[in-house]
Structure 1
C-alpha cells in the first residue's frame, strides 16, 4: 500500500511540473531574478504621436493648425498635456460646451461646432497653456503643490460670480495625488471646473509617456487658469 501511495504521489508531482511548463509557468532557471517590466518610451515625437491618433486628437489637431502653433509641438524638453476630443469638443464639460459662442444672426449663445467660431488668439492661449516648460514626470514630481510655467502668455478671461474678469497668470500646478496609485493631478483647487479632486482621482487618462522630444500626459479635461487672486498674490 505504501509503495502504491508513493507511486501516486510521484505521478501527481510529475503532472504538476508538466502543467507548469505547459501553461508557460516555467521554473526559474537561475538564482538571480530578472525583473521584466514595460517601458513608457515611444519611438515617436510628440507631434507624430498626436497625428497618429486622430481618433482621440482630431479636435486638438484642428486647433493646433487653426492657431498656427505646430512648431511648439516640435520643440524638445517640454511636457504636453494632450487634450482629447472629450476635453475639447465632446460632452457637457468640454471646452466647446462650457465656452459657448454667439453665431451671427442668433440672440442666444450655443455650443461651438468648429474652432473658427473662436478668435485665433483664444485658441492659441488655451492650447499653449497646456504645454509646460521643462519635462515633468513621475521622476521629479511629488504630492506637494508645484506651480510650473507654461507657454501661455497669461492674458485670459474667466467667469466668477456671474462676472467676466481678466486674469494674468499662466502657470499650472502639477503634482501626484496622495494615494498609493499616485494619480497625476492638475490644478487641484476648488476653483477648477472639476472642483477638488479626491486623493485617488487623477486629471489624466494616460500619463508618463516619454516621447523622443518630451513627456506626454493625455487628459479628457481641459484646465482653467488660476489667477493671482486664487494664488494669494493679490
Structure 2
C-alpha cells in the first residue's frame, strides 16, 4: 500500500512538470517574480469644494455628472456658494443616488425611501424636482451637510465625534442642536459612518471618503442623511 501511494505521488509530480513544460511549448511564459511597490493614491484634489462640485455636475468634455442634482439644489435654494470655499469644514456631498433613487414594484418605477425625494414626501407623494419643496427646507438641509471642522481618516476613530453643522439651531425638532456624528467603523473596510450613534434610526456609510479639497474634507454619500433617534 505504501508503495502504491509513493507511485501516485510521483506520477502527480511528473504530471505537474509536464503541464509546466506544456505552457512553454504552447508559447506561454511562466510568471516571473517581481518586486512589489505599494502606492497610495493622493487624496488631495488641489481645488475648492465648490470647484469640485461644478466640475462634476455638468457634462463638459465628457466629465461625469454625479453631483448634478446637488448643484440643482444649491441653485434652487439660493444658498451662498461662498460657503463651499469656507475653510476648515467637512462637506457632505450628495451623489445623485442620495437625491433620487428608484426601484421597481409591481412593474411600477418608484423612488426609494432612502433617497431625499423618496423620504420627504410632498402631499403624500415622492417629489420629482427640488422646486416641489420650499426653498428654506432645501437650503437648511444643505447647511446641515456642512460640518464645522475638517474630519477625515486623519483624525477620526471608531469613537463618534459629535460635530456642529451650519444648519440653524432649533430648525429641526428631531435635532435641535444641529449636530452630526462621524466615525470610522472598526472593521477591515474601515468605512466612515455618519449619524451612527446609539439608538439612531439610520446611519449612512460614506460612498467615497477622504477627498481632501484645499479648503477642507469631502465625504460623498449616496443615501439621504438625517439625524433621528429611536
TM-score for the superposition, normalised by structure 1: 0.70
2:68 corresponding residue in structure 1:
58
1:151 corresponding residue in structure 2:
166
Q: 1:131-146, aligned counterparts within 5 Å?
A: 131-146=146-161
Q: Runs of 4+ in structure 1 displaced over 2 angstroms?
A: 25-28, 34-37, 154-157, 189-194
Q: Conserved in 2, the CA contact under 8 Å of 1:82 and 1:219?
A: yes
Task: Pick from 109, 132, 143 the counterpart of residue 117 of structure 1.
Answer: 132
TM-score for the superposition, normalised by structure 2: 0.71
1:192 corresponding residue in structure 2:
201
Give the aligned length.
Answer: 185
* Counterparts of 1:27 and 1:89, CA distance in 2: 46
Q: 1:90-101, aligned counterparts within 5 Å?
A: 90-91=101-102, 92=112, 93-101=114-122
2:78 corresponding residue in structure 1:
68
* Counterparts of 2:163 and 2:193, CA distance in 1: 13
Task: Pick from 67, 80, 83 the counterpart of residue 94 of structure 2.
Answer: 83
Structure 1 residue runs of 5 or longer lacking an equivalent are 1-11, 29-33, 103-108, 158-164, 195-201
Q: 1:72 to 1:182 in 2, by over 3 A?
A: same
